[in-house]
């Protein structure tokens, strides 16, 4: 081996070790080494890079917080539009979804791929010859924003595709969702509160706010994670025949997919998985608002096609929100340890999903204005996942109100 290739091999090894520990720390919230050991490895890599800048690897974590703050994001038109999904909310609607499919595909065996429905932000990632070149938000489905700089700071996302088993495509466009895992969200809010900075109402808002930071250094400091759920383009064609295989194939390159996914032989089995996932929801590392049911076979998907902006071959099966109505008795200002003032809505106590709720934080004055919440309002309070309690004003048809339980 030449000296260069030895150095590069050392760098690659360090990058892989660091990526593994990052995943354990940020995504699984189960650190596998001490912080000091991590720092040591990180500095070892940095020292090598300083000495041999010509060997620096494109996916090094040391330049994650590099990059300049942008004046604004550029618009990018999606080559393959990012469409939406129809919804079902109960068994009857689910079975009707299956019947419509069976009618279009008579006498065919239909299997369903069942995935978590991530409650985050949809993005699209472009890899050219295995290098991540672009990350774009969904936007309106036709045009999104170029958030490449921020996407590159997401730790569990491969910046360079490598695999011992699979040939690297010349073009790969992967679709998925950016989320802030619950553990990271709670840590971020606790840290922000201690510093007297603004806290986020829920992981979705935190992820959205982080991804739209013009300064990639801020995005880099946020514990974001990416979960893949589909392939929009692949050249040369991957030759896969099912949705479930596609997800498995993506994991070869280091993409994370949902903690749960299943292939079901019947729609009855899909219903069983719905009940199972709903019960396991509090134990998952990320927020979900339901599951997504897709016809597994890609040829059948093609045969079914789309109805306006939604595929006929997939639907979201949403979880019910456990809700209860109550009234806002007062809005108080709570003084924090650092002297910050936080508005808190005092509610007529109400039982929701096993807890009695009498206070919810309104976070800040901006939130009060945005939500237009007032004393005397009737609100519907519901538990969203196990993150907290959200309220939804039912006084008028104003926008949905998001609150988190005051602790
Ligand atoms: S597949 C043709 N799979 O749900 C659309 N979407 O309501 C195919 N979502 O904007 C989408 N988890 O961001 C798919 N496992 C999953 C998903 C998922 C969350 C989001 C997605 C989309 C929205 C549609």
Give the pLDDT confidence of 162-214 residue by residue, as tens digits: 888 899 999 999 999 999 999 999 999 999 889 988 888 788 888 988 988 88
Confidence of residue 243 (pLDDT cuts 50, 70, 90): very high
Of 22, 33, 254, 15, residue with least CA distance to 155: 22
Q: Which of 141, 229, 289 to mutate to test the pocket of ligand 1 (most atoms within 8 A of CB)?
A: 229
Residue 389 pLDDT: 47
CA-CA-CA-CA torsion for 125, 117, 390, 324, nearest 10 degrees? 160
Backbone angles phi, psi at 393, to 5 degrees: -70, 130
Atom of ligand 1 nearest to the CA of 117: 12
Confidence of residue 353 (pLDDT cuts 50, 70, 90): low
From the candidate CATH numbers 3.30.470.30, 3.30.1490.110, 3.40.50.720, 3.20.20.70, the one assigned to the domain spanning 77-318: 3.30.470.30
Residue 1 pLDDT: 61
Catalytic pick among 8, 20, 109, 117 = 117
Cis before 236 (ω within 30): yes
Cβ neighbours for 53, distance < 8 A, ≥ 6 positions apart: none
Residue 395 pLDDT: 35
Ligand 1 centroid to 85 CA: how many Å?
A: 7
Q: Where in the chain is the domain with CATH 1.10.287.610?
A: 3-55
The residue contributing the CA closest to ligand 1 atom 21 is 122
Cβ neighbours for 68, distance < 8 A, ≥ 6 positions apart: none
Confidence of residue 134 (pLDDT cuts 50, 70, 90): very high
Lowest average pLDDT, out of 295-304, 326-335, 369-378, goes to: 369-378
Backbone angles phi, psi at 262, to 5 degrees: -135, 155
Ligand 1 centroid to 138 CA: how many Å?
A: 11
Ligand 1 centroid to 315 CA: how many Å?
A: 9
Residue 400 pLDDT: 36
Pocket of ligand 1 (CB under 6 A): 83-85, 115-118, 122, 138, 177, 229-230, 292, 311, 314, 316
Residue 85 has pLDDT above 90, yes or no: yes
Confidence of residue 25 (pLDDT cuts 50, 70, 90): low
Residue 181 pLDDT: 95
Does domain 3-55 match CATH 1.10.3470.10?
no
Percent of the chain topping pLDDT 90: 54
Residue 383 has pLDDT above 80, yes or no: no
Residue 378 has pLDDT above 80, yes or no: no
Residue 398 pLDDT: 30
State the Rg of the chain over Cα.
23
The residue contributing the CA closest to ligand 1 atom 3 is 229
Instruction: Tell me how far apart the alpha carbons of residues 262 and 269 are, in angstroms, rounded to a whole number.
Output: 10
Ligand 1 centroid to 17 CA: how many Å?
A: 31
Ligand 1 centroid to 117 CA: how many Å?
A: 7
Q: Where in the chain is the domain with CATH 2.40.50.140?
A: 322-405
Residue 179 pLDDT: 96
User: Does the annotation mark 117 as catalytic?
Assistant: yes
Q: Which of 292, 307, 311 to mutate to test the pocket of ligand 1 (most atoms within 8 A of CB)?
A: 292
Residue 156 pLDDT: 93
Residue 218 has pLDDT above 90, yes or no: no
Instruction: Tell me how far apart the alpha carbons of residues 257 and 266 are, in angstroms, rounded to a whole number.
Output: 23
Say if residues 378 and 393 touch (Cβ distance below 8 Å).
yes
Residue 104 has pLDDT above 90, yes or no: yes
Q: If you average pLDDT over residues 323-347, what whole number do you get?
A: 83
Architecture of domain 322-405: Beta Barrel (2.40)
């Amino acid at each position: 081996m030449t000296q260069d290739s030895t150095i590069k091999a050392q760098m690659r090894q360090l990058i892989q070790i660091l990526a593994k520990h990052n995943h354990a720390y940020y995504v699984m919230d189960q650190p596998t080494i001490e912080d000091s050991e991590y720092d040591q490895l990180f500095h070892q890599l940095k020292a090598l890079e300083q000495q041999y800048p010509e060997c620096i690897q494109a996916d090094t974590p040391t330049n994650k917080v590099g990059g300049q703050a942008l004046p604004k994001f550029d618009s990018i038109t999606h080559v393959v539009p990012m469409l939406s999904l129809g919804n079902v909310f109960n068994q009857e609607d689910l079975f009707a979804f299956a019947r419509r499919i069976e009618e279009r595909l008579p006498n065919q065996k239909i299997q369903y791929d069942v995935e978590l429905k991530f409650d985050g932000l949809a993005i699209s990632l472009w890899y050219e010859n295995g290098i991540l070149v672009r990350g774009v938000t969904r936007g309106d489905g036709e045009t999104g924003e170029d958030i490449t700089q921020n996407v590159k700071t997401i730790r569990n996302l491969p910046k360079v595709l490598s695999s011992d088993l699979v040939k690297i495509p010349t073009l790969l466009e992967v679709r998925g969702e950016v989320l802030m895992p619950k553990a990271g969200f709670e840590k971020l809010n606790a840290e922000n509160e201690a510093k007297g900075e603004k806290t986020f109402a829920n992981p979705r808002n935190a992820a959205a706010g982080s991804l739209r930071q013009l300064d990639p250094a801020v995005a880099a400091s946020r514990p974001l994670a990416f979960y893949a759920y589909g392939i929009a383009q692949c050249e040369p064609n991957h030759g896969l025949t099912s949705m479930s295989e596609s997800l498995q194939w993506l994991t070869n390159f280091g993409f994370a997919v949902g903690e749960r996914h299943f292939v079901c032989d019947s729609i009855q089995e899909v219903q069983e998985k719905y009940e199972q996932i709903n019960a396991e929801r509090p134990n998952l590392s990320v927020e979900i608002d339901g599951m997504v049911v897709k016809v597994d076979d890609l040829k059948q998907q093609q045969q079914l096609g789309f109805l306006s902006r939604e595929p006929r071959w997939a639907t979201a099966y949403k979880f019910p929100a456990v809700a209860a109505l109550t009234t806002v008795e007062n809005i108080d200002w709570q003084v924090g340890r650092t002297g910050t003032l936080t508005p808190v809505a005092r509610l007529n106590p109400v039982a929701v999903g096993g807890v009695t709720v009498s206070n919810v934080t309104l976070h800040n004055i901006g939130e009060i204005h945005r939500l237009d919440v007032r004393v005397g309002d009737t609100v519907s309070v519901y538990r969203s996942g196990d993150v907290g309690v959200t309220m939804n004003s039912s006084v008028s048809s104003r926008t949905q109100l998001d609150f988190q339980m005051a602790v």
